[in-house]
């Protein structure tokens, strides 16, 4: 709440929506690729891995998607946190690549993977278990609740990784000397203590849980709609023969 007030007072209410455009550009294709990759991998791994299949499929799918979407994630974070550069995605890309080289668009990928891969592994494992044992009707409501519970659990367990990822990318944006992950961990622990690794736990869980619920419930509904359309078209073709 304090951050909300400070940002609104110092930068204006519209600053709270800074980075919305790249967020939308990132979320839609990345989520589609991520879910599709997970579904494909999970189906192929189920016979061999059983209940571990969601964990492995989720981790691999997230690694693949995060690597491809890392530049947009960097730009989104930059827009939401910096006032030193003029707004605009193309302007930021030119600035970053001119000053620091094209590879710097992938700055922070490793800590991002540190956060997203465990999150994905925990999320999909929990989601499948919730649907299997507690919310078995597979309708929109049950998928929504399963997604929210799994998202809340995964978000809470990966807060330290999120803190590390954010600090690393912020250091690059502020043109500080780049440090390794181990050095970042030591620095945060030395300067702020263990509690610093769990800052923002409640806001992160409150943000991630409904987002996961909406995305997975919508995705499952879309899949059901496609299956219904496919079944209807096949039935119509058979009846016309």
Tell me how far apart the alpha carbons of residues 153 and 38 are, in angstroms, rounded to a whole number. 19
54 touches 44 (CB < 8 A): no
Residues listed for the chain: 241
pLDDT beneath 50: ranges in the chain: 1, 3-5, 7-8, 14, 16-17, 19
Tell me how far apart the alpha carbons of residues 107 and 180 are, in angstroms, rounded to a whole number. 12
pLDDT at position 126 is 95
pLDDT at position 8 is 46
Task: Kindly state the helix (H) or strand (E) to which residue 222 belongs, with its residue range.
Answer: helix 201-240
Q: Please give, one letter per residue, the 3-state secondary structure of 59-117.
A: HHHHHHHHHHHHHHHHHHHHHHHCCCCCCCHHHHHHHHHHHHCHHHHHCCHHHHHHHHH
Name the nearest CA neighbour of 80 among 118, 120, 30, 26. 26
Tell me how far apart the alpha carbons of residues 70 and 84 are, in angstroms, rounded to a whole number. 21
Burial 81-108 (b: 16+ CB within 10 A, else e): eeeeeeeebeebbeebeeeeeeeebebb
pLDDT at position 121 is 96
pLDDT at position 184 is 77
Q: What is the pLDDT of residues 86-142, one digit of tens each?
A: 556 677 677 667 666 777 677 768 877 888 999 999 999 999 999 888 877 778 889
For residue 53, count CB atoms less than 10 angstroms from its CB and return exposed for 0-12, middle for 13-18, buried for 19 or more. buried
Name the nearest CA neighbour of 152 among 222, 216, 60. 216
Q: What is the pLDDT of residues 68-77, one digit of tens each?
A: 887 777 777 6
Tell me how far apart the alpha carbons of residues 156 and 151 are, in angstroms, rounded to a whole number. 8
pLDDT at position 32 is 84
- Please state which of the four CATH numbers 2.40.128.20, 1.10.10.10, 1.50.40.10, 1.20.120.330 is assigned to the domain occupying 20-227: 1.50.40.10
pLDDT at position 238 is 72
Tell me how far apart the alpha carbons of residues 75 and 94 are, in angstroms, rounded to a whole number. 11
The reported pTM is 0.74
């Amino acid at each position: 709440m304090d951050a909300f007030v400070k940002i609104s007072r110092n930068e204006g209410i519209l600053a709270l929506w800074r980075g919305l455009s790249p967020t939308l550009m990132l979320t839609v294709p990345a989520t589609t690729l991520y879910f599709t990759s997970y579904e494909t991998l999970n189906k192929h791994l189920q016979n061999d891995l059983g209940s571990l299949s969601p964990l492995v499929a989720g981790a691999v799918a997230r690694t693949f998607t995060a690597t491809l979407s890392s530049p947009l994630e960097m730009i989104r974070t930059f827009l939401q946190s910096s006032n030193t550069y003029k707004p605009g995605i193309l302007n930021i890309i030119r600035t970053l690549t001119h000053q620091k080289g094209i590879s710097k668009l992938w700055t922070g990928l490793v800590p991002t993977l540190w956060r997203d891969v465990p999150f994905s592994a925990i999320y999909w494992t929990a989601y499948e278990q919730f649907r299997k044992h507690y919310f078995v009707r597979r309708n929109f409501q049950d998928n929504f609740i399963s997604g929210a519970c799994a998202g809340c659990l995964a978000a809470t367990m990966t807060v330290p990784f999120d803190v590390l990822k954010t600090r690393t990318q912020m250091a690059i944006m502020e043109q500080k000397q780049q440090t390794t992950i181990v050095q970042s961990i030591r620095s945060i622990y030395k300067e702020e203590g263990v509690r610093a690794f769990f800052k923002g736990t409640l806001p992160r869980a409150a943000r991630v849980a409904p987002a996961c619920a909406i995305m997975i419930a919508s995705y499952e509904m879309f899949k059901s709609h496609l299956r219904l359309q496919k079944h209807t078209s096949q039935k119509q073709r058979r009846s016309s023969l």
